[in-house]
Amino acid sequence: MFDRLATRLIRPAVDALAAPLARAGVQANTVSCLGLGLGLGAAVLIANGFFALGGVLIVLSRAFDALDGAIARQTQATDLGGFLDIVLDFVFYASIPLAFALADPAHNALAAAVLLAAFVGTGSSFLAFAVIAAKRNLNNLAYPNKSFYFLGGLTEGFETLACFIAMCCWPAYFSALAWGFAALCGVTLVTRIVWGVQAFAEPKAP
């Protein structure tokens, strides 16, 4: 919901940081993989009870996620880069609830499972919409630099990051936060289904 605003606010700083990296020959895909590595490192820390350090690595991981796109824009955006960006993002997003479940299975496992199921719903609706939109040559003018049709919603990257940080700050309240965010993801899923029905109800024009 706040992704576009957050992107506008941080883009100048991210672009300025990306410029020397691009000139030095740093590849966007390399930055994407490093971002995933940081995210998985955060998951390992959280699973072992180091929640604050895990939160720091989550923030760094998402900073790398913003940086890879900036480098791609300043060099050469590729289909492989777009593929890696979304796949590695989903791996990261799944790893954090799993880490909290491993940290305290008795209290966190059910809520983590529900949140992961909610992520499957929002992720599948996101990707399914993008596939059909590509078949129909639709473009989302709100996100012109994305490699595919970027469908928004109530729970986007910014909201997910905020939720993960809150979980790291108050790990004792993980279950409540997970249940609440899963409910918001459910709203996102329903709205995306409605948007899909509205967008694709008519047959594709020949």
- Quick: pLDDT tens for 133-146: 878 877 764 555 55
Model pLDDT, residue 141 = 46
Of the options 1.20.120.1760, 3.90.1150.10, 3.40.50.11540, 3.30.56.10, the CATH number for the domain spanning 3-200: 1.20.120.1760
- Quick: pLDDT tens for 32-82: 999 999 999 999 999 999 999 999 999 999 999 999 888 988 888 888 988
Please give the angle made by the CA atoms of 37, 30 and 103, to the nearest 5 degrees.
10
Quote the CA–CA distance of 180 and 191 in Å, as a whole number: 17
Question: Which residues fall within 8 angstroms of residue 96, CB to CB, at 6 or more apart?
Answer: 39, 42, 43, 46, 58, 164, 167
Residue 112 near residue 121 (C-beta atoms within 8 A)? no
> Any idea where the domains of the chain sit in the sequence?
3-200
